[in-house]
Structures are given as structure tokens and as C-alpha cells.
């Protein structure tokens, strides 16, 4: 995997990719040094000029540009099939559109799968491009968010997108 750090308006971010597609996105919340160390532990090799189009799109997103990144090729090798299905489904969400864990579970065929959907969101290796920040609890709570910036990062991304919660307002779920 090759990787690149980005200094965005939301804070430091990073992308990782293989020949098959984007395989990692690190969201704000860590220092650039911590991000670089995480990517190196995952086998990342620094390529500061790589993926210029993706980098430009992420930089523009962080400044408010509407982009759902749905056209980008992903490398989801090693990701369980159910997670791939969930990720494919939420990649269809438009910029600023939200859904719920329960709605995705119903789409999978059983509302009981809401916890499995939550687990898939927590294991998402490509947040932003696979927009797990747009998945909320049915009552407007944010639910968890596994990025280093936690729920604060999720709320900042939703605010940037001027997203609406299923109840019309957000509430912190902690």
C-alpha cells in the first residue's frame, strides 16, 4: 500500500491505496506523525505526490465541496462480504444524506442486524469515501464513530454537509 498525508481544512487526513483502489482513509484526530506510524504498521509506503485527483477531491470536500466519492475504485480485499454489501449500499448516499443503522439492517433483510451494521461501520477502513459518518441511530443520536476524532469528527463532517438527522436534530449519544 502506498500512502499520502493531507493537510485539510478539517485537520490532518491520510489516504492509502493499492493498484486495485483506495484501501485506507484516516480522518482528523491524530497528529501527522501518528497517522504515518499507523500507515507504516499497515505496510504503507510514503508517496507524497500519489493519487493527486483523490487528494484534491478530499481537500475540496474539507472546504465544503459536494462530493460523495462514489466513482472511486476501492480495494476491500480482506473485508468480510457482509461489510462489503453494507459499504456498497451506503456509498449510494448523496452528500448530506443520512440513514440509520436500522434502515440498513432492514435493507439487508432483518432489523436484528442493526448491531452487525454498527460493527461494519466501526471496522470501515475507508471512512469518508465509504461514508459511515452518514449512518445514525433512529432517534437522532450520532452513535459511535471509530475515527481518532470520535463523534466530534462525525458531527463536523455532518455539519459541513449540512446533513439532517432522521428526527430533524442531532443529539450526542454518550
Query: 7 φ, ψ to 5°?
Result: -100, 95
Catalytic residue among 121, 132, 136, 151: 132
In the block, which residue shows the cell 450526542? 172
- Per the CB < 8 A criterion, the answer to whether 124 and 164 are in contact is no
Give the contacts of 67 (CB within 8 A, at least 6 positions apart): 57, 60, 61, 95
Q: Respond yes or no: is residue 132 known to be catalytic.
A: yes
CB 30 within 8 A of CB 12: yes
Residues that are catalytic = 132
Amino acid at each position: 500500500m502506498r500512502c499520502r498525508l493531507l493537510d485539510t481544512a478539517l485537520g490532518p487526513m491520510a489516504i492509502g491505496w493499492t493498484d486495485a483502489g483506495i484501501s485506507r482513509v484516516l480522518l482528523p484526530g491524530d497528529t501527522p506523525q501518528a497517522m504515518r506510524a499507523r500507515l507504516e504498521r499497515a505496510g504503507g509506503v510514503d508517496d507524497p505526490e500519489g493519487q493527486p485527483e483523490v487528494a484534491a477531491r478530499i481537500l475540496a470536500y474539507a472546504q465544503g465541496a459536494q462530493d460523495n466519492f462514489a466513482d472511486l475504485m476501492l480495494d476491500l480485499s480482506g473485508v468480510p462480504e457482509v461489510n462489503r454489501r453494507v459499504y456498497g449500499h451506503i456509498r449510494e448516499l448523496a452528500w448530506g444524506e443520512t440513514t440509520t443503522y436500522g434502515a440498513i439492517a432492514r435493507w439487508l433483510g432483518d432489523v436484528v442486524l442493526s448491531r452487525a451494521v454498527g460493527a461494519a461501520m466501526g471496522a470501515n477502513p475507508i471512512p469518508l469515501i465509504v461514508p459511515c459518518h452518514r449512518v445514525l441511530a433512529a432517534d437522532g443520536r450520532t452513535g459511535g464513530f471509530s475515527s481518532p476524532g470520535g463523534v466530534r469528527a462525525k458531527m463536523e463532517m455532518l455539519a459541513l454537509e449540512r446533513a439532517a438527522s432522521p428526527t430533524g436534530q442531532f443529539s450526542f449519544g454518550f
